[in-house]
Every structure is written in structure tokens, then in C-alpha cells.
Structure 1
Amino acid sequence: MHYTLTGVNTGETRLDEVVISDDLSGVLDHATFNDDVAVTVGGREVAAPSLAGTTLTWSGALAEGETVMITYSVTVKTGVTGATLRNVATSTATPPGGETITPPPSATDNEVEILAVSGGQFPLWLPVLALLLLIGGGALLLRRRSATE
């Protein structure tokens, strides 16, 4: 499962410190973190966030209109069908000389469903059945041909 966190500076000034924290405790109960975090700010790659326990935290500055994107993935464990993966992200931002801004948290809930099997094993009885149908069809044609002669 892939996650993308997006933060945008919609204000009219630079944000000196932006902190985005992603609480993965409701995800990592049923999944394994793949350690593949990538972060871009304004389209350029920057240092990845740190994972302490079950919390992923990134901090940095954002210029006016700039966007930060944090992407990562987890692998869902077997046998957890019906479980809900709950992910909660919070953030704070501080403009120069201003008070810290704390937007409301953002959460996603993803229920683990049974996936359909694709591929699988080829049934060994299928070629035998096809061969029997071909032999039966050939015998029927020969019988009809000999009956009309």
C-alpha cells in the first residue's frame, strides 16, 4: 500500500519551520514499513524523514507557494483481512517572527480486503479433457462420413 502526504504553503510568506508527523501505529499493527520514504520540496529531492517508533516525522522550510510531498509504502501482513489501517498525519508551521500554525489533523482508514487470485496453477485435467473432446469429435465425424457412403 502506498501513501502520499502533501503539504502546501498557501500563505504569503516563507514558513521557517514546517513539521509533518505521521502516526503509523494504526498501520504498523497490520503492515510492515518498507523503509522507502522519499521527500520532494518544490520538485527537488530532500532528506527523508525519520521514523521513531511508529511516528514518521519530517521538518524543513517551505517558500511561499511551495509544496512538500512525502511518499512511502507498507506491505500488509497476511491474515489481517477485515482489519483497518488507520493513518493520522499532523503538522505545524511557523512563519518568521509569527506564532505557530496548527492545521487540523488528517486521517485515512483503509480496510484490508481479500484480493482475487490472479494467475494460479494450470489445471492438469484441462489438456486431458481437450484431448478427449477432440477424439470424440473426430470419431463422430468419421461415423457420419461412413454412414453417408
Structure 2
Amino acid sequence: MAKRVLVLNGPNLNMLGTREPATYGSQTLADIESLCKAEAGKLTLTVEFKQSNHEGELVTWIQQALGAFEAIVINPGAYSHTSIAIHDALRAVALPVIEVHLSNIYTRESFRHHSYVSPVATGVICGLGAAGYRLALHALAEKL
């Protein structure tokens, strides 16, 4: 049976393709969703792909993942650097989590160098663009 993975995307990721393409690339979030679904099919995974600009909605989706999904891939966007609520929700559900960032957060502004998500993540992938999502699914397929 296919393992279920929840793929969550935080604020402003709905603007991919037009938002700072030099930093985030030219692929849209819909392109990344298609990439994830195609890759998941090869790995005997199924993915549910969501995006919200609202912290509370992301927290609710994380909480609802317990018992419904085996793992989470999350690109929390700017909430990486500000959200203790997302940290606490991920800790509470205790599922394997891969944190993904399209850009390398460690080569950008200093406020982006700290992530509240990283301490509760199984792994972190940053700076590899949309390929980071594909790599996250591979890591989870191996782990699950």
C-alpha cells in the first residue's frame, strides 16, 4: 500500500514563477506539485499538496496529519524563521518531517539563518530549487 505524504507550503509560495525568479526559480507551485505527484508515483507514495499564507491553517493541517499521513514535507517559507506554533505542531504529531527551502537560507539575510522547524525535522534540504522536493520524497520513501 502506498504511504501518504503531506506536502505543505507556506506564505508567498503561491507566487512562485513570478516572485524573485533569480532567487526562487521560474517554476510555479503548480509545476512543483506536478513534479511531486509524478515522483511520488515512482516511489509508491501518494502526496497531498497544500499551500497557505496563514500560519494557523498550516498548524491545523499539521495536526490533522496525525493518523492520516505517514510523513510531512514542509516548505514553511518565512514561517521557518518566526513560527514556534509550527514547530510545536510538528513536534506534537511526531511524524517524519523533511524541511525544504528552494533557496539556500544560509547565504541570504542573517535573519533567515535560523529555522524553528529544523530542530523538529528529520532532515533539511535547501538551495536546490524544486529538486529539493523530489529529494525529500526519496528520503522519506527510504525512511518509511
TM score, norm. by length of structure 1: 0.25
Q: Greater strand share, 1 or 2?
A: 1
Structure whose alpha-carbon radius of gyration is higher: 1
TM score, norm. by length of structure 2: 0.25
Q: Greater helix share, 1 or 2?
A: 2
